[in-house]
Amino acid sequence: MITRKKFLKIGAATFAGAAVGSTLFRKKDVLQAGQQTVTETDDVRQIPTFCEICFWKCGMIAHVKNNQVLKVTGNPDHPLANGRLCPRGTSALGIINDKDRLQTPLIRVKENGEETFKPVSWNAAFDYIAEKLQPIIERHGADKIALFSHGHGGSFFKTLMAAMGSKTITAPSYAQCRGPRAEGFRLTYG
């Protein structure tokens, strides 16, 4: 368990490292802590991708060997990243390798009077969703199903909503985060 004191130490070290590191390593790869060094002689694929943690969608490069991501770096050709990533972007490796990361769909079931989650295939999950949504659509109409989306993944759900016939879609995160800032800048700076 992380204590408040340890959290503050980590935060201060991260801030100091980011401040100093951004000036020292402008165009160099910075390895993640405890990570193996990746050299040009290794059989490493560099796959362009982007960060999904915030709305900026900074470009990054995933360094992959044997289908395992070894590190991520900022994409020097991306207009926002310019070869760099913020601490959230560099945490992508931790997100990918998190032991608690879901690897398959789960359906809540009752077993022996206890609620638990059962791993299922994607097809079984989609069938289950359709089975639960169809009676609602038939009884109340598709517009009674709403989507509150956030991030790039929301576009896939928008396709699902359109297929069901619902136009009840909103992105509250934009209204609560970037939208007010953009409007404030417009009013302040013109």
E-only strand ranges, 17-113: 45-50, 59-65, 68-74, 106-111
Total count of residues recorded for the chain: 190
> Boundaries of CATH 2.20.25.90 in the chain?
29-96
Q: What pTM did the predictor assign?
A: 0.56
In the prediction, which pLDDT does 8 show?
64
Query: By the 8 A CB rule, do 120 and 128 touch?
Result: yes
Q: Kindly state which CATH superfamily the domain 29-96 is placed in.
A: ADC-like domains (2.20.25.90)
pLDDT digits (tens, 9 = 90+) for 124-143: 999 999 999 999 999 999 99
